Amino acid sequence: MPQRLYIDVHILQTVPPANLNRDDNGNPKEAYFGGVRRSRVSSQAWKRATRKLFTEELPEEQLGTRTKRIASELAKRLVAQTPGLGNEQADRLAVSLLKPLGIKAGRKAEETAYLLFYGHRQLNDIAGLVAGRAGELAALDDKALAAELDALPVREQLRQHHPIDVALFGRMVADIPALNVDAATQVAHALSTHAVELESDYYTAVDDKNEKDETGAGMIGTVGFNSATLYRYATVGVHQLAANLAEPERVVTAARLFVDAFARSMPTGHGNTFAHRTRPSLVAVVVRDDQPVNLVSAFERPVSSAVGSGIAAGSARRLAREFQTAVEQWGDEPGHVGVCHMFTGQGGGTGGVGGSVGDVDEHDGVRDDLAKAFGENRTFPALLDGLTEHLGAVWKQG
């Protein structure tokens, strides 16, 4: 494998009226870019949505969790593996096991001061350090217990066998640098490719038990929303992923899983109110060995809707031309490029039916630009297969 290898993921996704990711006032997050106000979805929101989707593909044993309640989770494992061990004994033993790590205590006795991202397997391994001895250890006084546990390699268990999500998204423990894991993935804040205005929905709820002579609402309120075509970008450092996993056979699987989940995931903010889940209009993957390249500059000048066209189609053309120009001017030909898109030339937006002739002509132009930049249009499974095949070949070479 080359010293550096990156997978860039470029996505265009149109979202209807929604409030995916709220700011401190409860309104959709926004940002200025190119001199205009844009819709924004934070990287944290989309990373969490991606990570939650991993649970559909992998068993818990291969994943991690992020919580302040690591001691409580460890105590549960100690009780499960030691018949007759009481909950209070398990809690005391769990706290003592974790104490050598130096994790700061939280306000509540059973919590740490901050969230800790760890693997289920890692916590099982820590519990396994006292397998068969938990009852005996729990009977010791505090000083004797500390002496027994101090020699155990607890920290080492959190520094190996990282689950895929920890390997991808990293772990930072400010006061214990030895537990840090450098993230293999960077996720940009999603931005609308065009200017966006904040709107507000005034809603009322009627009390179903109102008498006939009672009028008015049982509750009133407002919720902010906007709609946008978003440009989403993420990059995976495959070399860093390999270092974090330390198991070569898992690297390609982990990279494919991320691309799949990142493309299909969606933050759930106000989901019941807006039913905003859509699928991307375009997903492009680019494998390169020089550096990650975010193509957001394609949208520095806001995209506007033209007659017979739309924001999504205009955004796709901008993205294709930006990529092609960047490759030509910088001379850094990627090792692999693939695209899946919905601009089929059938009219009706991004692949629907019933569109006008203008829609079809516009989509023909979009298809041509996308083909020049990213190659033939593939189904999403075929896009993932092509990426997997390329990564597998690169891995074998070196």
What is d(CA 196, CA 27) in angstroms, rounded to the nearest whole number?
A: 13
Q: What is the pTM (predicted TM-score) of this model?
A: 0.89
Check residue 355 and give its pLDDT. Answer: 39
Check residue 357 and give its pLDDT. Answer: 42
Whether residue 358 has pLDDT greater than 60: no
| Amino acid, res. 238 | V
What does pLDDT average to over the chain?
88
Whether residue 151 has pLDDT greater than 50: yes
What is d(CA 27, CA 228) in angstroms, rounded to the nearest whole number?
A: 14
What is d(CA 287, CA 239) in angstroms, rounded to the nearest whole number?
A: 12
Q: At 348, is the pLDDT very low, low, confident or very high (cuts 50, 70, 90)? A: very low
Q: Token pair for residue 85?
A: 């061990």
Whether residue 318 has pLDDT greater than 70: yes
- Return left, alpha or beta for 132; rule: phi > 0 is left, psi -120 to 50 is alpha, else beta: left
Whether residue 213 has pLDDT greater than 80: no
Contact yes or no for 49/267 (Cβ under 8 A): yes
What is d(CA 236, CA 250) in angstroms, rounded to the nearest whole number?
A: 14
Dihedral over Cα of 18, 39, 383, 243: its sign: negative
Whether residue 146 has pLDDT greater than 50: yes
Chain center to CA of 162: 17
Of 52-56, 207-211, 308-312, 325-329, the poorest mean pLDDT is in: 207-211
Q: Token pair for residue 184?
A: 């293999």
Check residue 347 and give its pLDDT. Answer: 47
Of 15-29, 335-349, 354-368, the poorest mean pLDDT is in: 354-368
Q: What is the pLDDT of residues 232-284, one digit of tens each?
A: 999 999 999 999 998 888 999 999 999 999 999 999 888 778 889 999 999 99
Q: What is the mean pLDDT of residues 347-373?
A: 62
pLDDT top residue among 214 and 353: 214
Of 9-13, 149-153, 215-219, 375-379, the poorest mean pLDDT is in: 215-219
Check residue 305 and give its pLDDT. Answer: 76
Check residue 356 and give its pLDDT. Answer: 41
Whether residue 380 has pLDDT greater than 60: yes
Check residue 308 and give its pLDDT. Answer: 56
Q: Token pair for residue 291?
A: 């550096």
What is the three-class DSSP state of 189?
Answer: coil
Q: At 113, is the pLDDT very low, low, confident or very high (cuts 50, 70, 90)? A: confident
Check residue 306 and give its pLDDT. Answer: 66
Instruction: Find, among 344, 351, 338, the residue nearest to 284 by Cα.
Output: 338
Whether residue 85 has pLDDT greater than 90: no
Share of residues in the chain with pLDDT > 70 (%) = 91
What is d(CA 41, CA 20) in angstroms, rounded to the nearest whole number?
A: 7
Q: Where are the alpha helices (DSSP H) in the chain?
A: 43-54, 70-81, 87-98, 120-128, 134-138, 142-150, 154-157, 164-169, 238-245, 248-264, 271-274, 311-330, 357-374, 380-397
Q: At 398, is the pLDDT very low, low, confident or very high (cuts 50, 70, 90)? A: low
Check residue 345 and give its pLDDT. Answer: 67
